[in-house]
């Protein structure tokens, strides 16, 4: 026991058989190997995280990157193709309405790179090719009191009314034609003897069935010089810059 301390001397000396010692060594070696493997895996994981993202995320990122690359490659290709044909400022705008693609009176209007058809009421479809039928057949266009319906350019209808009826659909009964004030320019209205019409008696200077015309009092030319200005049953001679004066610039 020489060389051992007093405390060491109190401890029992452990002696192991050679087989037990060898077994302990193998276990120790195995554990050491396992620890190394675990350490290696841990380091690998840390490196993986440091270098980027878990595998699944990396795959997604790769996909996105591929898409971006494809998109980026697409537009330059398009631009290149366009610029290789004709520069944009030299391209003449194509008149898509030149061929008159709209049918049945539809109006063609240009759009960016195309056109559209503005169809009359009666027609529908991209090119106004669908006929929905005469507008006079529609209930809302039926003329009343035996009025006659007439379609105008597929857009709207008018009613020709029987005597003593008026209104858009001939819905109004006329008791006295002069109640509708048909005469213009302060003319006098008188209903006909048989009640089937009226007559307008015009004041001086007007003519027409409803006295709607201002008679041209400058015909024939009354002014000796200058410019004649028509009035109502009168005229005025403008002598400006003529060197003449007087009512007729004479
Ligand atoms: Ca006149």
Give the count of beta carbons closer than 10 Å to the beta carbon of residue 167. 15
- Cα of 222 from ligand 1 centre, angstroms: 13
* pLDDT tops 60 at residue 131: yes
d(CA 56, CA 45): 14
The Å distance, Cα 197 to ligand 1 centre, comes to 27
* Residue range 135-194, pLDDT digits in tens: 999 999 999 999 999 999 999 999 999 988 989 999 999 888 898 899 999 999 999 888
Q: Could you tell me the sign of the dihedral formed by the alpha carbons of 29, 35, 41, 46, in that order?
A: negative
Ligand 1 centre to CA of 237 (Å) is: 13
pLDDT at position 6, please?
43
Query: Which of the pair, 62 or 4, is modelled with greater confidence?
Result: 4
pLDDT tens-place string over residues 183-201: 999 999 999 888 888 999 9
Q: Higher-confidence residue: 23 or 133?
A: 133
Ligand 1 centroid from CA 187, angstroms: 15
CA of 90 to the centre of ligand 1 (A): 58
The better pLDDT of the pair 37, 110 is held by 110
Distance from the Cα of residue 67 to its chain's centroid: 32
Q: How far is the CA of 209 from the centre of ligand 1 (A)?
A: 17
Per the confidence metrics, is the pTM higher than 0.75?
A: no
**C-alpha 151 to ligand 1 mean position (Å):** 38
DSSP state of 153: T
Average pLDDT of the chain, as a whole number: 74
Which residue reads 């035996």 in tokens? 146
- pLDDT of 46 over the 50 cut: no
């Amino acid at each position: 026991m020489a060389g051992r301390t007093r405390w060491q001397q109190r401890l029992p000396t452990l002696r192991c058989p050679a087989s037990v010692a060898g077994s302990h060594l193998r276990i120790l070696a195995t554990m050491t190997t396992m620890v190394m493997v675990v350490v290696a895996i841990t380091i690998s994981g840390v490196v993986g995280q440091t270098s980027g993202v878990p595998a699944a995320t990396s795959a997604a990122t790769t996909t996105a990157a591929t898409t971006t690359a494809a998109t980026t490659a697409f537009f330059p290709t398009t631009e290149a193709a366009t610029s290789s044909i004709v520069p944009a400022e030299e391209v003449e705008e194509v008149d898509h309405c030149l061929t008159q693609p709209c049918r049945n009176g539809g109006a063609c209007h240009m759009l960016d790179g195309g056109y559209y058809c503005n169809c009359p009421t009666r027609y529908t479809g991209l090119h106004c090719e669908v006929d929905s039928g005469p507008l006079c057949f529609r209930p809302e266009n039926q003329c009343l009191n035996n009025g006659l319906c007439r379609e105008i350019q597929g857009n709207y209808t008018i009613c020709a009314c029987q005597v003593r009826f008026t209104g858009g659909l001939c819905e109004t009964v006329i008791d006295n034609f002069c109640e509708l004030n048909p005469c213009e320019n302060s003319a006098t209205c008188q209903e006909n003897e048989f009640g089937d019409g009226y007559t307008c008696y015009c004041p001086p200077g007007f003519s027409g069935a409803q006295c709607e015309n201002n008679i041209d009092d400058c015909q024939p030319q009354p002014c000796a010089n200058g410019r004649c200005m028509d009035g109502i049953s009168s005229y005025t001679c403008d002598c400006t810059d003529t060197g003449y004066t007087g009512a007729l610039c004479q």
